[in-house]
């Protein structure tokens, strides 16, 4: 009697794990807020975080947090692809070249803290720099591990049981702020700016520097909604020092925004 040969299916080789950038783009898409509806989405996220959660600004009846700098600012949103909701926003403030009375927030509130031996603003013409500000990430996209199974209600309607983020999705949450910073730098790079400025906590700067964001402290630490200092990044450092994973993510975000930035329209403040 002949022996039977058992055919065992050949197992496929394990697929290589996705890179940080591939994981990010699997769940999130950067949107340039070039419509009234998208800008209002930015203001609503900011109201949720800055007014309702942190209490830094007074709550508004229209649930939109807007200040005078929004008259000459541009914004990026991060869209969660599965739910079509927004996981965060960021803005860059660019004062108009033809009106020297309009300034960035740090010029109005933190000018006396600047270290002139580090950066001399007189060397930068109006329109050659911008300030990154108003980064905001809703609570649903910052939940801790012990809150992971609490549902995120996408639409508050009867019978909606909510959406529970997967563990894989949640692993990308720490990269939301990084993706938004990269989007802001892309906008500034597209504007051919010479430098970017940002007020942030020194500990956040240390974390960003580990990834290759070479922000240099340009001001003394002051009490500005907590301990914060002015940091700046010259144009040649916008993405030159990013680690390989972050550089891949920057290029992906850059490509996505290039598809939306055929021109950067001025956001008419009367259209808000």
Using one digit for the tens of pLDDT, what is the confidence trace for 126-162? 889 999 999 999 988 876 545 444 544 444 434 455 6
* 182 part of a folded domain: yes
The reply to whether 2 falls in a domain is no
Rounded to an integer, the average pLDDT of 3-20 is 59
- Does any domain span residue 269? no
Give the pLDDT of residue 252. Answer: 96
Q: For residue 129, count other CB atoms closer than 10 A to its CB.
A: 26
Token pair for residue 121? 């603003």
Rounded to the nearest integer, the mean pLDDT of the chain is: 84
Residue 113 located in a structural domain: yes
- Does residue 268 fall inside a structural domain? no
Cα Rg of the chain, angstroms: 22
pLDDT at 49 over 60: yes
Q: What is the pTM of this model?
A: 0.83
**How high is the pLDDT of residue 14?**
60
First to last CA, the chain: 86
Give percent of the chain with pLDDT exceeding 90: 59
d(CA 226, CA 204): 12
Confidence label for 3 from pLDDT (cuts 50, 70 and 90): very low
More confident of the two residues 162 and 111: 111
- The pLDDT value recorded for residue 169 is 75
Band the pLDDT of 60: cuts 50, 70, 90.
very high
Cα–Cα separations (whole angstroms), residue 50 to 47, 74, 153, 162, 204: 5, 18, 20, 24, 18
3-class secondary-structure state, position 25: helix
Mean of pLDDT values over 102-113: 92
Residue written as tokens 């002051």?
A: 222
Q: How far apart are CA 263 and CA 171, in angstroms?
A: 34
In a domain, residue 173? The reply is: yes
| Mean pLDDT (whole number) for 100-105 | 91
* Choice between 4 and 114, residue whose per-residue pLDDT is larger: 114
Domain range spanning residue 75? Answer: 20-142+158-261
Using the predicted structure, report yes or no on whether residue 265 has a pLDDT greater than 50. no
Q: Tell me, what CATH number does 94's domain have?
A: 3.40.630.30
Yes or no: say if 20 and 245 are a contact pair by the CB < 8 Å rule: yes
Half-sphere exposure (Cβ direction) of 219: Cα atoms closer than 13 Å: 26
pLDDT tens for each residue of 176-225: 999 999 999 999 999 999 999 999 998 888 888 888 999 999 999 998 88
Q: State how beta strands 85-93 and 73-80 pair.
A: antiparallel
- In this structure, is residue 84 part of a structural domain? yes
- CB proximity list for 136: less than 8 A, separation 6 or greater: 45, 46, 48, 49, 50, 88, 89, 90
134 in any annotated domain:
yes
Mean pLDDT over 45-64 rounds to: 94
Residue predicted with more confidence, 11 or 89 = 89
pLDDT-derived band at 166, boundaries 50, 70, 90: confident
Overall domain count for the chain? 1
Pick 201 or 172 by higher pLDDT: 201
Q: What does the angle CA 53 – CA 164 – CA 256 come to, to the nearest 5 degrees? A: 80
């Amino acid at each position: 009697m002949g022996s039977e040969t058992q055919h065992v299916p050949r197992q496929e080789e394990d697929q290589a794990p996705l890179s940080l950038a591939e994981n990010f783009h699997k769940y999130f898409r950067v949107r340039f807020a070039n419509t009234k509806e998208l800008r209002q989405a930015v203001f609503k996220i900011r109201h949720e975080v800055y007014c309702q959660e942190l209490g830094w600004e007074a709550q508004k009846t229209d649930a939109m947090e807007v200040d005078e700098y929004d008259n000459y600012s541009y914004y990026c949103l991060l869209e969660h692809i599965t739910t079509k909701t927004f996981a965060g926003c960021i803005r860059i403030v660019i004062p108009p070249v033809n009106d020297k009375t309009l300034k960035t927030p740090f010029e109005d509130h933190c000018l006396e803290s600047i270290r002139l031996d580090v950066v001399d603003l007189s060397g930068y013409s109006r329109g050659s720099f911008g300030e990154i500000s108003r980064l905001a990430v809703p609570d649903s996209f910052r939940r801790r591990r012990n809150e992971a199974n609490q549902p995120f209600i996408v639409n508050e309607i009867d019978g909606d049981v909510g959406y529970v983020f997967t563990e894989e999705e949640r692993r990308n949450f720490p990269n939301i702020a990084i993706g938004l910073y990269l989007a802001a730098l892309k906008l500034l790079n597209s504007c051919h700016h010479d430098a970017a400025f940002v007020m942030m906590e020194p500990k956040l700067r240390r974390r960003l520097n580990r990834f290759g964001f070479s922000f240099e402290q340009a001001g003394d630490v002051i009490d500005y909604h907590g301990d914060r200092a002015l940091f700046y990044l010259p144009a040649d450092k916008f993405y030159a020092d990013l680690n390989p994973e972050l550089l891949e993510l920057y290029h992906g975000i850059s490509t996505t925004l290039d598809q939306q930035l055929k021109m950067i329209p001025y956001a008419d403040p009367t259209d808000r």
